[in-house]
Amino acid sequence: MEGFLQAWNEASVTTLSYFWKAFWAFCLGYLVSGMIQVFVTRRRMQQAMGTPSAGSVGIATFFGFVSSSCSFSALATTRALFAKGAGLIPSLSFLLASTNLVIELGVMIAIFLGWQFIVGEYVGGVLLILVMIAVVSLTRPTKLVEQVREQLSEQEGDEEASGADWRKRIRSMDGWAEVGSHYAEEWMMVWKDVTVGFTVAGIISVFVPRSFFEWLFVGTGQGVEHTFLQTVEHVFVGPLAAFFTFIGSMGNIPLAAVLFGNGVSFAGVMAFIFSDLIVFPVLRMNAKFYGWKMALYIAGVFLICIVVTSLALHWGFAAIGQLPDPSQQKAIGEQGFELDYTFWLNLAGAAVTIAFAWLARSMGRSLGLQMAVGEGWLEKVLFVLAILALAWLVGGVAAGLVVG
């Protein structure tokens, strides 16, 4: 019994340590996202994204880069863009960029993984978009796109953002209050994914033996080198593992670090990270937006992109002798809580969070509290899991006091 209590405490402390290292990165990302959403109007994006030209794809990618990393927020924005005239290729470019090229994701990867994964994330994000363009161009789903766009045009209301000049808005308290509202809403949308994702990562890092990863990912635990077939197997198992975790793009980074620390190949870990847009909740939401036929088409396109991109990155790094070594993986959970740069950045993040919440409320803006639970049965299931995860963490900390 005492052994279990010690392991429970270790898993909980590991989870809290993960979140401690990442809190300021969330704050930074959601601040940037809120500013973009308020000071850049959707109309400007839509006007420039109507055709699958290089310019449209470039603009879509840029706006995805500076937008929210929340998968569900990105899905909603993509739907609005597509419904109001943006082409399928620019819309999917925006979606891929907003979940793979965003600033806060790169910061998270820098915290939990090595420089190769940062390069892999951003180079891979561009490769995902290029492969997607090739696949969509080859398959030409013209009839399907027309059917979906017709359905959306009947449902879409006037969701145009305020046309006020951004220069005036950036100098007004109301503009910054709206930024605060978006900032709070981002947290309300992702807290469940983050809580469950980080808790699962802590549990797996302590309770799941290395032998399980060696069984799931063939060849794991045999060093950096993996055979051709083992690497291919990893890039298919990675998305499969992501599909059943139900965790978003930010919540799965600590778990990706656990996978890599247990010897999963670079390709397998990158495939796992890239798979946030083919997990079941995302598939379900796309089906709700576009119908199951289009949702499965998008998931199929993204799976091809993930496999091709992950293999290209793996063999590219192998060719130059720069594949990351799992034995060098940082043990984040063992570093504890120190009075270092993380402390001061987290303190600044907490101050920003409090200030924006106060400003938004004082100006009559919503904090998105209704989003904390979410709509639909899956969101409610995730909410219950998040509450259970919090109870687990509290119990784990208490267990540490019991065993001394």
DSSP calls for 326-360:
GGG---GGGS---SSHHHHHHHHHHHHHHHHHHHH
* pLDDT value for 248: 59
DSSP 8-state code for residue 325 = P
* pLDDT value for 50: 62
Tokens of 33: 């996202």
* pLDDT value for 394: 94
What's the pLDDT tens digit per position in 126-158?
999 999 999 999 998 888 888 887 777 665 444
CA angle 102, 237, 298 (to 5 degrees): 55
What's the predicted TM-score (pTM) here? 0.70
- Name the residue with tokens 């009559």: 364
Break the chain into its structural domains and give their ranges: 2-403
- H/E element holding 204? helix 173-207
Alpha helices in 113-247 (DSSP H): 115-139, 142-155, 166-170, 173-207, 210-216, 228-245
Provide DSSP, 76-101: HHHHHHHHTT--HHHHHHHHHHHHHS
Burial of 150 (0-12, 13-18, 19+ CB in 10 A): exposed
- Please provide the distance, in angstroms rounded to a whole number, between the alpha carbons at the two ends of the chain: 14
* pLDDT value for 157: 46
Closest by alpha carbon to 14, among 330, 313, 362, 402?
Answer: 330
* pLDDT value for 148: 86
Asked if residue 307 lies in contact with residue 240, where contact means CB atoms within 8 angstroms, the answer is no
Ranges under pLDDT 50 in the chain? 156-163
